[in-house]
Structure 1
Amino acid sequence: MTACAGPGAAGARSTPSPTATPPEVLCARIVAHWSREVLDGGTYGDYQSMGLSNGQFDILRSVVDAARAAKKREGARAAVELIDRQSREGCAARYRSGGPSSGPWQ
């Protein structure tokens, strides 16, 4: 028996982990998190320090703009619900085709 024999050995089929989180779900979580932080704090940080790509940061800015308007009209609870919904929708649209196609910053 060789040290290479086992699940990762040559010729073995690699299957995705059933517990892997889809990128659109991860995107929605992080965009929603930072959207709430920005809404509460009133200012944006550097998108890279937030762990966001440029495209995710675009979603965040759009979500925060809408959340600020909703908060003024309908209150904080409505703003948080909007953040969660629009983060999911924006990230689902972004990753619908499997993700960004050019450059790591996308």
Structure 2
Amino acid sequence: MGRRGEPRPGVRFLLLGLALPALVLTPSCARPVNTGHPSPASSASAASDLCTRLVSHWSREVLDGTTYGDYQSMGLSTGQFEILRTVVDAARTVQRHQGTSAADELIVRQARQACAERYRHGTPSGGSWQ
């Protein structure tokens, strides 16, 4: 003990040095533990969202006739390209009868539905070059 009944400065640091790791290493129930791996739900959502954006973009380009190359040059998998072909076929019919705006709405809606189904578990449902 130092003057006036206070602990010596070195003792304070020693106590803090022992208590700090215990506080840091104590698990907290208030926050989830980050394992470094995304949850299956977030993986499925992220994959589905990316698929929807890619398929929607390239479907519009194909419908407008402003695209080139094959599905690999578009950055699509075989499964995503199958979705694109189905979406574009339906959008062509709608565009002829109801206009471009209706076709665009159909593209987004069908791409979202098909991509959500394909990536419902966070990974594609299978096939070559998935």
TM-score (norm 2): 0.63
Does the 8 Å contact 2:119/2:125 carry over to 1? Answer: no
Does the 8 Å contact 2:78/2:128 carry over to 1? Answer: no
Please report how far the alpha carbon of residue 14 of structure 1 lies from its aligned counterpart in structure 2 after TM superposition.
1.9
2:60 is the alignment partner of 1:36:
yes
For these two proteins, the number of residue pairs brought into alignment is 94
Off by >6 Å, runs of 4+ in structure 1: none
The verdict on how the C-alpha distance between 1:14 and 1:25 changes in structure 2, with shifts beyond 3 A counting, is same
C-alpha RMSD of the superposition: 2.5
Give the equivalent residue in structure 1 for 2:38. Answer: 16
Gaps of 5+ in 1: 1-11
Name the aligned partner's letter for residue 64 of structure 2.
D
Name the aligned partner's letter for residue 94 of structure 2.
A
In structure 2, which of residues 77, 80, 91 is the aligned counterpart of residue 67 of structure 1?
Answer: 91
Name the aligned partner's letter for residue 83 of structure 2.
I
What are the Cα deviations for residues 14-67 of structure 1, in whole angstroms up to 9, with x where unaligned? 2539x9871000000000000000000176630000000000000000000000
User: Could you say which structure has the higher helix fraction?
Assistant: 2
Gaps of 5+ in 2: 1-33
TM-score (norm 1): 0.76
Q: Decide which structure has the larger Cα Rg and report it.
A: 2
